[in-house]
Amino acid sequence: MVDLALSSMALAVFSRTQQHPLAATEASSRYQSLLRLAQERVARLSSSLLDERDIDACLLAILLMGRYEGLIYRPGNPDLKQSFSSLPIWSHHKGAMAILRFWYDHLNRTPATTLIRDTRRGLIRSSLLRNLPIPDWMLDGTRFGERDLEQDYDRIFVRTVNLQYASASLQQKKRLDITQIERLSYKADELDKAL
């Protein structure tokens, strides 16, 4: 699966930089094969057939799939009429979250790999960009390999993302609740002190 992801990405970059249509066609063909294979692997999640080695391979392939989609459907491309939050790259974030959740629920007896830790970090940044809350199961970075000073920064970042989400949600309400505003202000003050 990773080999298909790498070759799709490499061909897409080559086709873009060298203006080579045949490479773009081959990249698309390989990417379509990769999509089918990835869907089969994700479908196996429910039957618990994935092991620790498959988790990293799936996460790496999904990361490269997101990069491929980002290259093809660039947010800066004026020809595309899609909004930022509806770009196809976000479906890969959902796939990565499903794989990570499977690891969290079934395979977290072994230490988290660097890829597991970094995938969680990327999903937290994605939550910030798309103004989404961080799921409860992702809040504690220690389960995902965060240690020492990185763990302290991780806690602050998680609190920041959730505060931003709560603040944006509050702003969208027609009638503001002073109690909620005060609670968010207190959380912001606590976060400021933590920094």
Question: E strands along the chain, which residues?
Answer: none
Least trusted range by pLDDT, from 55-59, 86-90, 102-106, 120-124: 86-90
Q: How far is CA 17 from CA 12, 27, 194, in A?
A: 9, 13, 45
State yes or no: pLDDT of 16 exceeds 80.
Answer: yes
* Residues 93, 96, 100, 105, CA torsion sign: positive
Q: State if pTM tops 0.85.
A: no
* pLDDT 10s digits, 109-139: 788 999 999 999 999 998 998 888 999 999 9
What average pLDDT does the segment 79-95 reach? Answer: 66
- The SS3 of residue 48 is coil
Q: How far is CA 21 from CA 5, 17, 158, in A?
A: 19, 11, 43
What confidence score (pLDDT) does residue 53 get?
A: 77
